Amino acid sequence: MRLTIGNHRWSGKDLLKKLAEWPEEAVVWVKAKLHTGAYEKALLDTSFSLEVPSSAVEALGQRLKALPNPAKKPGPAYAGLEDRLLIDRIRGESQGWNRNNVTRTEAYGRMYARHPELHWALLAHMVSRNGGWSMTDLQGELLPYLLSEEQRRNVFAFLERANALIFRDAYAQLLLYEESLRQRRPLFHLLPLLGVSRFMCGVWEQFWEDRRSVPLTIGLIVNEQHYIEDRVVRHPLYRRTVLDTLFFHTQSLLQLNHVVFPYREGRLIRLAGVTVEDFSSKKERIEVGKKLYGILFGLPAVHQGVLRFVSGSRHTGSRADFWPHLFAPKRQGPRIPRGELKERLDGCRLRPGALPLYSPSLQSAWSDRPIAPSEPGDWFRTEEVLAYFRTVEPPSSFEMTQAYGTGLGRIELAVLAGDLLE
């Protein structure tokens, strides 16, 4: 196979080599990286740490040591009629918002708007937007050329399960906090009756006393990643159909491991974020969550830019939500056979005359799926997780605008190369 790209005629072998080496060899890319470095430094000069005092960690450690024996099963005696009605109401409200990625993302955003002390709600809103974009990418312009229908269904099921389980566990906690505010008394002893780890009882009780948003946010990050570890990441079904498959090991090529936060800077929408190198590592997922937290709340320009973006862009699942100059929620022309494809991308822009990339809404891409019950059990065993409770600093590298455009170019080259993942 030989393809003509620009003024060059490439063999399949040469194109794959180009795919591996590009963009390091490109002078334009190098200049962009230098500019990015200077831009990051300027933003970091105004950054601040998200502090976790050692006294707060010590206090949380004491609370965790005092938690009830996990062998003691909570039963009806632990809650009166009023509490049971409250639990049923919280479960019902959580279930109502847990229809799909769009409704979950909306619920997180509304919660943060009501309670800005809940930093995790905004973080979850932005990460959930990324989950929706990854879901619709599977039915968008490029990935259907690289992944079979079965592979795309499997990845969607994996993403949907993780997204839904985290919401089911965490949103109930946020609603219980809201009810505690209404009643002006802590109700966190009811968390186990909602299926929430007893670890979070200690975290919420500590927050209720000291009102420190940072340890609470770290606690929720630690909890969510432990919660999905056995239920999704280590689950035999998802190991067999997604995580242990050959194509998933090319996730960096497919950009499945990029988490980006669009933020408005004047008329521009830039991207800040990080890359997950090893999704199967629970420790790395937690550290990535903390880095994202540092970016979102430790960099004032990003934080304010994200809030401007969120207020002006309703989440639909389409990447046109943030870059309508590059993506369109409706296909602008017929789907072109692979052999007739031509390059459309020039970094973060379209080439002259090129149609935007198709990026459907979630509603157009996937129908709602019933959510199977979560496997029972409490992940919390020891206080070793306290090691995660450290002051959070924004990472030194976070600007992803250029990197995201580069990644899209790699996917396009993979499509042009043909049969890369088949």
pLDDT at 69: 72
Buried b (16+ CB within 10 A) or exposed e, 241-250: bbbeeebbee
Residue 5 clears pLDDT 60, i.e. is over it: no
Amino acid at 80: G
- Residue ranges covered by each domain of the chain: 49-417
pLDDT in tens, 321-373: 999 999 999 999 888 887 788 899 998 899 999 999 999 999 999 999 999 99
Evaluate whether 26 touches 420 at the Cβ level (below 8 Å).
no
Q: For residue 407, what are the CA distances in angstroms to 256, 345, 413?
A: 10, 11, 10
Evaluate whether 254 touches 19 at the Cβ level (below 8 Å).
no
The strand pairing partners of 275, in sequence order, are 258
pLDDT in tens, 155-191: 999 999 999 999 999 999 999 999 999 999 999 999 9
Tokens standing for 272?
A: 């800040």
Name every residue whose Cβ is closer than 8 Å to that of residue 334 and which is 6 or more positions away in sequence. Answer: none
pTM: 0.90
The whole-angstrom separation of Cα 153 and Cα 133 is 15
Name every residue whose Cβ is closer than 8 Å to that of residue 268 and which is 6 or more positions away in sequence. Answer: none
pLDDT at 32: 56
What confidence tier does 419 reach under pLDDT thresholds 50, 70, 90? very low
Query: Of residues 28 and 395, which shows the higher confidence score?
Result: 395
